[in-house]
Structure formats: structure tokens, C-alpha cells
Structure 1
Amino acid sequence: MDHERVVRDVTVRLPMASTALEACQWTVSALARHTPATVSILLQVQDRLRCVAATGAWQVFSTVPPQTGVVGRVYASGRPAVVTDVADDPDYLPVRPDVTAELCVPLLGPAGQPVGVLDLQWSEPVELDRWRRTAARLAGRIGARITALGGPPAESRSEKLLRHAAAMTGAPTDWDLMAAAITAARDVSGLSAAVLLLTGRRGPRLGAPTAAPGELESRIRAELTAADRTTLGQLVDRAHRHGSAYTLGEAGHPPTEDYLPLTRAGARTLVAVPVGPPDGGGLLLVADERLLRPDPTTVNLMELLAGQAWSCLDRLRTLARLREQAASDPLTGLRHTGPFGQRIASATPGRTALLAIDVDGFKDVNDTYGHQAGDRLLVGLARALEGALRHGDELYRTGGDEFVAVIEVSRPDEAVRIAERLTEAARRTGRTISVGVALPVPGESPDRTLRRADQALYAVKRQGRDGVHLSAA
């Protein structure tokens, strides 16, 4: 094979290419006339390698994550790779079932930095050394032309949406998710500001801001924060009732009244997209100070983004409910033994008091009036005890009629006074309780402190119930 001719045929049209994509497609087509290999060119787009031109296979990988496969290895290192047996290379990405050898070379810009890779794969004997030299020459010319044309093609809006969707899916909290959705809305739409309005029990509220909102976004948030809930509700209701909307920006046509807070903030371009269901969702607003006319594709992308954001938010809320149910007693709603064990593990010696609580005569209630009456007693008593505790004190149900309060105090007598408040609250429900109090001492395990509180409780039982006893350290 005349490799000089290969280089001439492949590169002759490069100066005529008007885009990097065109240069790559011409290169692949020309190379395919000289070799039966699978030929592909992948360029860096954002944080991945995107296949922009390929031939010679039934299927190729559209994008490749960083440092994945032979192509990722070559791109990351900037050094070519010659694989004489793909079966022995753990990085090989299967493209054809009969491939035996692979040659991959980096496409380098003028400063020597990789902008992509040229990859060839053969299923028949080939002079790899000759092709390596030829591919290196081609890669240099292709890389120079791509750089002259402005570098690899920009990330498309659909690719941006896919990248942001992955970020939203991985968001650990509601706050992180809303910030990711706002960032995505700005990036995909090309507009400078985005806010989320979410419906809650008290009406619509603003979602979490991003870390560094721009001026317009800050002004919009200020206007919506100052607006009454009726105005915010009208904005949300309008979108859910009639669908997405966007501005034409035509002069002489004022906005409807519910959009006035946005125009006062300086928004001249606006896309409004409903989020989630009408009875519990919200609204995504994307805006700009420039007078633009968003196209329907932009609106469609915002609708896809809003749908993804709501799916992720609904999943996070569902997981939170499941965690709460797993950590809570289904009868009283109090946290139970799992969270209690975590809490007492962080007890502060001399300051964290454990109050072991037992309902006096509870078995008699169950035996005489039935378990439903016993359940009602426990629920009523749990509410009464919660009401008698201070803000920040914690109450757990650790057994059938057994509770433990974890409180922070400065002195043992303060813990005793709070325990006495609990006994008074129980009496007001028509029942009595016995309470044992213990404060952890340095070097004592939480389980040992709890045993001392239980022993103090049994001391109350022996003395006639309905009282408080402080355990000696």
C-alpha cells in the first residue's frame, strides 16, 4: 500500500472543511477507501469523548467517559497505543466481533494538548508499524485543522441536558437538587436567570438558590419573596392550567398582572414551565434581561428538565418518608430504638441525662379494656410527654410501654425537675408513670448509663410508682 497516497487523499480536502465535524467526517470517509478497518474519530466534548465520525462497523460507542477504553487511555496520556491482540487488552471496547488489532493515536493541538483521538481496528493481518507512522502524520494534520476551526464542536443542548440530568439524579438532598436544576436551566436555555417555585402546605415558596446567583436572578428572587401568596399561586396555577409559555417580546404589549414582579425585576425574556402535578408541584421560571425570542425547542428542553427535576425531587421525598417510617414508631410517631442508639452514643458526660420512663399499670389496661384502648393510651401519653419537654429534648419509644427521654442539662437537679414535669403531664391524662434518671460519667458506656436509668426506674416501682428517682453515679 502506498501510504504517501493515503496521506494525500485523506488530507487534500482538510483545508476546505468549514467545521471540525466536517473535517472529521471527510477524514473517515477517505481513510475507508484505503483500509477495511473500522475507523472512528472521537473529540473531547465537556467531560467525555464523543464519536463524531465513524465507519466500518455495525455499531460504535456514541460517547466514552474519561479514561475509558483504549481511546480514553490514549486521550488521557497523549501517547499512541498499538494493540496487537485486543483479547489481551483489558481496556478494549468491543466494536466488532472479529477485531484482532487496534491502533489509536491522539489528535494534538498546536500546544501539544490532545483534542481527540483517531482510532483504527482491523480484523485481518495488517502492517501496524507502517500504519502507526501514517496515522501519526494524519493525526497531526487533523488536529491542526480542528484547532484552526475553533476546536472540537460545542456541547449540544441535548448533551447538556443529559449531563445535568445525571447530576440531578445524584443530588443527595432537596437543596442540592434544586440548585442543580436551576444551574441546568440556565445552561441549557442560554438565559441568565432561573428560579423554582414549589407548592407547599402554606402555598408556593421559592426553591433553593444556587451558590452565586446573577443580578437578575437575585432581583427576581427578591420580587417573588416580597409578592403575596395569591400572586405566586396565580403564577403556578396559570402554568399548570394552560401549559408552558414564553415571551415574544413585542413592543406595546404589556404582560399580564401576575408577571409584573418579574418585569419589575428586569426580565424581558421569560420561559415558564410547570413542574410536577397541579396539586403539589410548582413552576420553573427561566429569564433574561436581553430581549430574545426563545424557540419552541428551548421550551421543550425546559419541559424535559422540569420533568426530570420533579422525578428526582419526588424520589428524594419518598426516600425521606421511608427513612422516617423506618426510624419511627408507627403507633406514636416517636423515634425508636435505632435512632435512640445513635443518639445516646453521642451523650456528653455530666450533661446528657437519660430519663427511663415506664407506664404504671399498662398491662391492666390491655387486659381489661383491650389492646386498642392500650394503643390510645400510649398515643395520648406520648403527646403529653412531648408537650412537657423543652425544645431540643428528644423522646423515644423503646418498648411496648417504655419510653426514654434524652435531654441536655447543666446539673442533675435540672434533670430531676424535667422528670417531675413529665410525671405531672402523665397525671393530667389520667395515668401515672415511673421515671429513672441517670447522667453519664466519664468513661461510662451509653448502655451502662441506660442500665442505671432503668435501675432507678425500678426503684420508683418498688417505692409505689408515680415518681422520679435519680441514679447515683
Structure 2
Amino acid sequence: MASTAVEACQWTVTALARYAPATISVLLQVRDRLRCVAATGAWQVFATVPPKAGVVGRVYASGEPATVADVAADPDYLPVRPDVTAEVCVPVLDPAGRPIGVLDLQWSGPVELDAWRETAERVAARLGARITALGGPPAETRSEKLLRHAAALTAAPTEWDLMTSAICAAREVSTLSAAVLLLSGGGRGPRLGAPTGAPGELESRIRAELTEAGAPALHRMVTRAHRHGAGYTLGEAGHPPTEEYRPLADAGVRTLVAVPVGPPDGGGVLLVADERLLRPDPTTVNLMELLAGQAWTCLDRLRTLARLREQASSDPLTGLRHTGPFGQRIARATPGRTALLAIDVDGFKAVNDTYGHQAGDRLLVGLARALEAALRQGDELYRIGGDEFVAVIEVNRPEEAVRIAERLAEAARSTGRTISVGVALPRPGESPEQTLRRADQALYAVKRQGRDGVRLAAA
């Protein structure tokens, strides 16, 4: 008489419990895990189990029943009570013989395992047939979907991956057809979040309308969400949208859930929409709020880690990359093509001694900006010591490297200072450290000859 698969499992467990002094549970496959849908007689049960974990996972994966006379001797046993001694687990099969779950019984006292195994198999066969007749194991609930997507958000390695995961989660959990993220873009105003591959037709229209609407319109949407909180339409025809959402209506949106994301001064809004006239309920909005909160927490963590990595690989005074990244870069140097320009500021110690370290710091920052501006696109500048810099450039011949070094010297003169530059190109089989040493030797030759110049190391 069960009207659902879960009811059939619950009644099965209740009936068995009248005769078997055991811990009894039924686990069914839901998506990629075994989920416990009915249990009795246990101090604790496992809510979900990976398909191959434990005795239950082994039975499900093999489709073969298991009789375990001594659970302490079975490495796959998953403990639910400290006094359990024996276990019988049988697969729940559909009429075609495919496993759809397991029926598991565990005892803490003497028991005729063979007799109970035969009974469990017969009951499981009846249960499998009834579950199949009712449409199969229960579908994944929306809260379970949200939990699965939350794990994906936490594991996202980049901001792009995180945005994609959040948008996919919003569509699947809400059951609406389109989702977009508007995020604060700093001084540039809100911007659309990362694209998600091949969006649907409605989502494409929404993106086009929002892009055409421009930053002021996007800002109004974000402001409304943060000022008034999450909102949703009732999907009723004949009611015009508020002015903030006019671009969405123009795109064909008839149902909308709008949820603020992050703080008012730096967050955004999650828009989940459909072109059908639907009636989202408050539960849907609550799930979207949970999703938005998880997405922002993960996004903030990624941005914090990115800042920390940038700080760890950058000189805090000039913002240039420093020794660690430089070592990685010169390790990829191409013999005959990658030139190293060793740069030293002339008379820097005198500036520090005469005017103080703050004046020296200002000199280094100004000089770093001037040298960066004089380099070509793709050239790299590093600060590897107090007043020591290195430029790594790709050239076709040594004369090209010398010309760029002379351009750097001229840029330094424009700031009122001078630099000495030594140029070296890696030799075949030469280590990056040896190449840099030859560039340094060329630099010191410039120093000895009066500074403010460029010298190419011997090939």
C-alpha cells in the first residue's frame, strides 16, 4: 500500500523490526551516493555512504549478498553501535536485476545468519519490485542539491570556476531556467559575472539587455537588492516590473528571484529568472540566499588568497616581483634569445645617508615606474635587492638587448637619476645563475668606467 519509495522502505524496516532484534536500514542510490531512507534499532546510522564504502557499498557494487559472522574481522565494516557482532547485507534489485540499494541488518547477540539472509533476500526482492513500480529511488531533494553544489563552490580553484558553479547551482536548485551574477566592479561599477559556457536563450537575452543597459542600471539593481533584501515575483500577468528591473522584462523575464550577494559596498546581486509565469515560494528564496552566502564566502576566500600570493611574490615598496618569481622566470630562459639586464642605481647609498630612507624609498618607487614604462609589452622587471633590479626580455640578437638597456638608462635620467646596466644572453648549457653573474660583471665594468651606461657581456 506504500505510495512512495520512501514509504515502502519505512514499512519494510518496521515490519522486519517486529521479528528481528537488529539494527535495520535501507539505503538507496540517490545520484552518486547511497542514502539511508529508512532505519530502526540503531544508536546512529550513516546518512549517506559512497557507493563502494563499507559492507553496504561492497554489496551494492557487486550485487551479491554478504554474511559477516564477525564484523571485527571485516575491514569494510562501518560501526553504528559498539556491541554489533554480525551483519547480513543484501542488494535491493529492480526486476531487471540491477542494484538500486541495499537492505542491511546488524545484530549484537546470537543469531541464525543463514536463515535471516534468506529472509532478507526475499524481502529485498519484494521491496525492489515495489520501488520500481513507484518510479524508482527518490530524487535528490533541493537541499541535497544545494549541499552538493556548496561542496563544489568550496573546491573551486579560481574565481571563474566559482562563478560558473554558483550560476549552475542557482539554475538547478531553483528549477528556473536562467541565472546571472552582477558583481561590484570597483570604480567601474557593477559587472556581469563570469560566463558559463553555452547559456540558454533567455540567459543570453538577459546578458545582452544588461550589457546594453550600462553600469548605472546595473548599479540600481544591486542597490535595490541590498537596500530591501531578497525578493521574488508572484508570476502574475498584467503587473509591470519596477523600473530597476525593466531591462530584465525587456529580455522576456516573467519570473524573477533577486538575492543580494556579499556586503552592500562590494558585493552584488544574484538574479534567477524564467520566461514562464511561475510562483516561486519563500523556500526557493531561502535556498538562493544560502547559495549566495556560500558563493560570497568562497569568492572572498579566493580573493584573499590571491592578495596573499601577490604580496608573497611582490616587493611591497615598488610592487615589482622579487627574487622568488625571478628565479622561476630565469629558469625558463632560452639560450640566445632571453637577455638579462642587471641594473644598479648610481649613488643610491648617498641619497639614503644624506636625505634618509624615506627619500631613498621614493627614489626607488619613481625609478621603478620609469623603468617599467620604458620596457616593451611582455618584458619583465624585478627588484632583487635594495637598489638592484633585473629586467628579463626576449630579443632576436644582442644589439636589440643593448638598445633596450640604453632606453632604460634614458628613462632613469628623466627622473634625475642614473643607472648602470649590464647585459648578458644565456649561453648553451649555462645556468641562469651564471648568466646573471656575467650580467653583474658587465654592470660593475660600467661602474668602474664612471657609471651611467650600458655594457654587453662577452658572448
TM-score by length of 1: 0.95
Aligned to 2:185: 200
The Cα of 1:101 is off from its aligned counterpart by 1.1
The Cα of 1:221 is off from its aligned counterpart by 0.9
Deviations 1:202-230 (A, max 9, x none): 00100012122111111111111111211
Map residues 7-406 of structure 1 onto 2, 5 A cutoff. 16-201=1-186, 202-406=188-392
The Cα of 1:309 is off from its aligned counterpart by 0.3
Partner Cα separation in structure 1 for residue 94 and residue 198 of structure 2: 34
Partner Cα separation in structure 2 for residue 212 and residue 77 of structure 1: 38
The Cα of 1:452 is off from its aligned counterpart by 1.5
TM-score by length of 2: 0.98
SS at match of 2:297: helix
The Cα of 1:401 is off from its aligned counterpart by 1.0
The Cα of 1:367 is off from its aligned counterpart by 2.0
Partner Cα separation in structure 2 for residue 224 and residue 397 of structure 1: 43
Map residues 406-425 of structure 1 onto 2, 5 A cutoff. 406-425=392-411
Can you give the 5+ residue segments of structure 2 that lack an aligned partner in the other structure?
none
SS at match of 1:255: coil
Partner Cα separation in structure 2 for residue 387 and residue 55 of structure 1: 73
Aligned length: 458
SS at match of 1:340: helix
The Cα of 1:176 is off from its aligned counterpart by 0.3
Which residue type is aligned with residue 342 of structure 2? A
Runs of 4+ displaced beyond 3 Å: none
Which is further off, 377-386 or 188-197?
377-386
Which residue type is aligned with residue 180 of structure 1? S
Aligned to 1:457: 443
Aligned to 1:10: none
SS at match of 1:406: strand
Partner Cα separation in structure 1 for residue 366 and residue 62 of structure 2: 68
SS at match of 1:105: strand
Partner Cα separation in structure 2 for residue 152 and residue 424 of structure 1: 76
SS at match of 1:390: coil
Which residue type is aligned with residue 180 of structure 2? V
Deviations 1:291-321 (A, max 9, x none): 1010000000000000000000000000000
The Cα of 1:282 is off from its aligned counterpart by 0.4
Partner Cα separation in structure 2 for residue 19 and residue 308 of structure 1: 33
Deviations 1:61-89 (A, max 9, x none): 11112322211222122222222222222
SS at match of 1:280: coil
Aligned to 2:458: 472
Partner Cα separation in structure 1 for residue 381 and residue 96 of structure 2: 65
Aligned to 1:12: none
How large is the RMSD of aligned CA atoms in angstroms? 1.1
Deviations 1:107-132 (A, max 9, x none): 11122221111111111111112222
Partner Cα separation in structure 1 for residue 269 and residue 355 of structure 2: 52
- Verify the 8 A CA contact 2:236 2:277 in the aligned structure 1: no
Deviations 1:189-213 (A, max 9, x none): 0001000000112001000121221
Partner Cα separation in structure 2 for residue 437 and residue 90 of structure 1: 65
Partner Cα separation in structure 1 for residue 71 and residue 97 of structure 2: 28
Partner Cα separation in structure 2 for residue 443 and residue 223 of structure 1: 58
Aligned to 1:5: none
Which residue type is aligned with residue 32 of structure 1? A
- Verify the 8 A CA contact 2:237 2:277 in the aligned structure 1: no
Partner Cα separation in structure 2 for residue 291 and residue 251 of structure 1: 7
